[in-house]
Amino acid sequence: MNGTVRRWARAFIVSVAAFALEATAAANAQEARPTKVGTCARTTIASISGRFREKLTRPTPTDEGDGTIVNLKNNANGASYDFVEAVYNSKVGDRVLVCLVHVPTGCPEGDTRGKYYTTTNLRTLQSWTLMNDTHGCGGA
């Protein structure tokens, strides 16, 4: 192999490696929380729990459960008084696509509760739609 071909091959390998690193960084990027209805962002699940328990557990006939809390790394969180199967099937660290689907109007200044996000787990392909708090804006 002559020197020109070797230099070209080396440059090609370096370019491919740089592209692969850039693609990996982009895939792992945490996008900001969506702020306009209809916009989405990629992020990961930071934590999953019940409302009052450290672990989300499936309700039983004698235990109604205590709801569902899912926190995302970009703070587009979800909360419910109900057990959410799709969240239960998810794991901390799973990549998700989160979309803002509703923003309430007429809220007191500074009260950011009442936003609804639809989240799709990219591993399980299951989705859920939850409000960012168990109470809407102006609520308890």
Chain segment 52-94, per-residue pLDDT in tens: 888 888 888 887 778 999 999 999 999 999 999 999 999 999 9
According to the model, what pLDDT value does residue 113 have?
93
Q: pLDDT category, 1, cuts 50, 70, 90?
A: low
Across the chain, what does the average pLDDT equal?
Answer: 83
- How far is Cα 28 from Cα 17, in angstroms, rounded to an integer? 17
- How far is Cα 83 from Cα 16, in angstroms, rounded to an integer? 46
Using alpha carbons, select from 109, 91, 90, 102 the residue that is nearest to residue 132.
102
- Residue whose structure tokens are 């672990």: 55
Burial class (CB in 10 A: 0-12, 13-18, 19+), 65: middle
**Domain edges within the chain:** 1-30, 31-131
In the predicted model, what is the mean pLDDT of residues 3-28? 44
Q: Read off the pLDDT of residues 109-125 as tens digits, 9 standing for 90 and up.
A: 999 999 999 999 999 99
Q: Per-residue pLDDT for 12 more than 50?
A: no
Q: pLDDT category, 18, cuts 50, 70, 90?
A: very low
* 35 Cβ contact partners less than 8 Å away, ≥ 6 residues apart: 100
In the predicted model, what is the mean pLDDT of residues 31-56? 92
Could you give the percent of the chain with pLDDT greater than 90? 61
- How far is Cα 79 from Cα 99, in angstroms, rounded to an integer? 15
Could you give the percent of the chain with pLDDT greater than 70? 78
According to the model, what pLDDT value does residue 54 have?
82
